[in-house]
Chain A
Amino acid sequence: MKVLTQDVIIAKEIECRIESGIYPERSRLPSERTLAGEFGVQRGTMRRALRILEDKGAILSRQRSGHYIAPRRIDFNLDAYNSRKAVIEHMGRSTYVKLLTFDRMFITDKLSHKMGLPGDTQLFRIMRLRYAEGAPLALERAHILCDLAPDITEEDVHNRSLYSALRQKHGIHIDRAVSRVSAVHANGLESELLNLPVSRPAMRYEGLVYDSRDRLIEYFDDIIRIDRVQFIRKDIL
């Protein structure tokens, strides 16, 4: 038995070309026929190789026009927490947020459990839809402790950085996050906002955010398009 089949090996080779920039993001991949010729394999083998890359989200197929290299994913760094805006702009990508709702509420049972706070705690709940490069990326739901940041207003978070507002108005310096990532199926509203077919998987990125004085400031609960992000950590540069 072969250790690895041709399609797996070819997929890896093309992946290397994408990573090294030989095939730039959003560019059109040579046709299946051309590639099959180059690698000296049957069209069927080549098709399976392309399928592997499609499954990983490395390439996108467009009807009648072939395959394109997927846009580069946004890198969330496992070693460095930062505002979403900073993360995306650091990669040279544009981003903005649309404010969906802003309200003040008493903590729910579920949040009280997650945040370890009593039932009479009040929170600002801020729902925003984040775009990267003009396309929906994430539904961001932030919950901020009213007591610590009483002066936050709608204007502060409408296409502006929540963390800058916290710093400027309340001297709160965001310092660290305790996070978790899991997979969920997007519900109807989430699918619609993120422009996904119904009940496709989405990434849930949740976290408790603390400031430099080790106070719990925020609980965030974001639903993110799985094809647009990855988490990275580098010990070796």
Chain B
Amino acid sequence: MDRDGKDRGQSDSAILQEKIIEQIRVGDLLPGEKLLSERAMAEFYDVSRGAVQYAMNRLVEQGYLYRRPGSGTFVKERNRSVMNLEYQNEVGNSGVTAMLKNAGARMSNRVLTCGRIQEPAFARKLQMPEGKEVYVLHRVRFANDEAFAVEYSAIPFDLFPDAEGVDFSKISLYDYMDARKHMPVAFNQRFKIIEASEREGGLLGLRRNEPVFHFEFSGYDRDGRAVEYTESYVRCDRTELRFNTRVR
């Protein structure tokens, strides 16, 4: 093949790779779906079979596709966690971690900072008088050793006076709150998608402007007392949110 031909073949295959990745990302190609044969694909995209082959090999290497000998090339099932927003109340446990735990991921976390602060804005979020102290816990959460969420949690210090002595990299915040008889059992929550900031995006290994879920949870114990305010930044690429809604 001459030089030009080779260059064209390589860029054709690069373009084809991108197209397929995009189709997988937007869901035009679904996990488990079979791709066209290499010949059909070459015809469809008007590129050489060599270019198709090259693109397919790269995508298999990169984990987007897999081959089943004798039957073709398929889209790999993605390791996307599903967060079911509806089950949380039934299991009496909420927060991103609890939802993902239900989805079977192995969870761990790293505490970045923690301690008490006396700041009116945080006291207000917990419906406390402005002078009251809150205990703040700032963590990165890992699912199967990959960072998936950055969280800021605030709890009223007077209800959890021994929080400072707890190692929250080992002990779950909810287990601790439960042990102190102030487990959140009802929640107000909201979420939106934002573009990753330098700070939280950086901790999650995201480039700027990549999307990230932003959650806010306000948790109430069984006496209706505000016991938790959490802000959570969750990677979008490994998560989708599901919920059932009824007409009211």
Spell out A's residues near B (CB within 8 Å): 1-4, 8-9, 12-13, 15-16, 51-52, 55-57, 73, 75, 77-82, 110, 113, 173-185, 187, 200-201, 203-204, 226, 229-236
Spell out B's residues near A (CB within 8 Å): 25-28, 30, 85-86, 89, 113-117, 119-122, 124-125, 136, 138, 152, 186-199, 209-214, 218, 220, 224, 236-237, 239-248
Who on chain A is nearest to B199 by CB?
Answer: A52
Interface class of chain B by DSSP:
strand
A15-B121, A182-B236, A232-B189 known; A81-B245 Cβ under 8 A: yes
Who on chain A is nearest to B82 by CB?
Answer: A180
Q: How far is the CA of A203 from the CA of B211 in the complex (A)?
A: 9
Chain A residue contacts of B241, Cβ below 8 A: 180-182
Contact A201 B209 (CB under 8 A): yes
Query: What's the minimum C-beta distance from A138 to chain B, rounded to whole angstroms?
Result: 13
Contact A178 B121 (CB under 8 A): no
From B28, B89, B121, B212, contact of A235 by CB (8 A): B89
Contact A110 B30 (CB under 8 A): yes
Chain A residue contacts of B196, Cβ below 8 A: 55
Q: How far is the CA of A80 from the CA of B193 in the complex (A)?
A: 20
From A9, A52, A176, contact of B244 by CB (8 A): A176
Contact B240 A180 (CB under 8 A): yes
Contact A79 B245 (CB under 8 A): yes
A3-B115, A16-B124, A226-B211 known; A78-B195 Cβ under 8 A: no
Chain B residue contacts of A80, Cβ below 8 A: 245-248
Closest 3 CB pairs of A and B: A201-B211, A183-B211, A183-B236
Who on chain A is nearest to B85 by CB?
Answer: A78
Q: How far is the CA of A113 from the CA of B29 in the complex (A)?
A: 11
Residue of A78, A180, A183, A201 contacting most chain B CB atoms (<10 Å): A183
Contact B246 A81 (CB under 8 A): yes
Sample of 7 A–B contacts (CB below 8 Å): A13-B121, A15-B121, A73-B192, A183-B212, A233-B188, A234-B188, A236-B188
